[in-house]
Amino acid sequence: MRFRITGSNRATGHELSTTIEATTESQAREIAAHSMTITEIHEEEDPLTVDYASPPREDVPARLPPKPVQPAAAPDYGAIKRGALVLTILAVLCYVGGAISLLFGFAILLLSSNHSQFDTATAITLILGTISSFITGAVLEMLAAIGIAVRDIARNSFPRR
């Protein structure tokens, strides 16, 4: 047990207060008497001791533990998948249209008998138009891939079940 002892120092006479650990009050008095004159002694309560058996306080309302929250399921993002499919189909159509345009341009150049300026201009226009068709197809294909990547990133932000 712990005892709080108040008194004065034997050598200097200064007032003094100390705490002594002892099994009984008489043992604490005996230990303190070696260096001080005792005026008061009392048992201290251990500040770390908690009385769990005491009734619940009325001023503190009882609380139930919170219910566990179920994580939300990741959305399907079907619109992103459908949009990516449409963009991929359009990209393929651009590639096919560009390939056909390229073939017609070379065919006009190779098969025209009189090589008029009109035939040459038409062939060059078709061949140069092919470049824009291929660029458009590549951009559409890239947008489809970005859409799917964004969908995957969004789905990975949800907890797995």
Order the strands of the 15-21 sheet from edge to edge: 15-21, 2-9, 36-44
Query: For position 33, what pLDDT does the model report?
Result: 87
What single-letter amino acid sits at 70?
Q
Asked if residue 155 has pLDDT above 60, the reply is: yes
pLDDT tens for residues 43-83? 887 666 555 555 656 666 666 677 777 767 777 788 899 99
Query: For position 113, what pLDDT does the model report?
Result: 75
CA atoms within 13 A on the CB side of 123: 15
pLDDT tens for residues 131-152? 999 999 999 999 999 999 988 8
Cα–Cα distance for residue pair 78/74, rounded to 1 Å: 12
CA distance readout (Å), 119 to 3, 72, 111, 130 = 115, 63, 10, 17
Q: Which residue has the higher pLDDT, 155 or 122?
A: 122
Q: Which residue has the higher pLDDT, 49 or 98?
A: 98
pLDDT tens for residues 15-42? 888 888 888 888 988 888 888 888 899 8
Q: Which of 104, 106, 105, 93 is nearest to 134 (CA)?
A: 93
Q: How confident is the model at residue 120 (pLDDT cuts 50, 70, 90)?
A: confident
Query: For position 94, what pLDDT does the model report?
Result: 95
Cα–Cα distance for residue pair 84/117, rounded to 1 Å: 42
Which two tokens mark 87? 């963009």
Query: For position 23, what pLDDT does the model report?
Result: 87
Which two tokens mark 90? 């359009």
Which sequence spans correspond to the domains of the chain? 2-44, 78-156
Cα–Cα distance for residue pair 148/84, rounded to 1 Å: 7
Q: How confident is the model at residue 158 (pLDDT cuts 50, 70, 90)?
A: low
The string of DSSP codes covering 85-122 is: HHHHHHHHHHHHHHHHHHHHHHHHHHH-SS--HHHHHH
Cα radius of gyration (the chain): 46
Which two tokens mark 10? 């034997």
Its pTM stands at 0.50
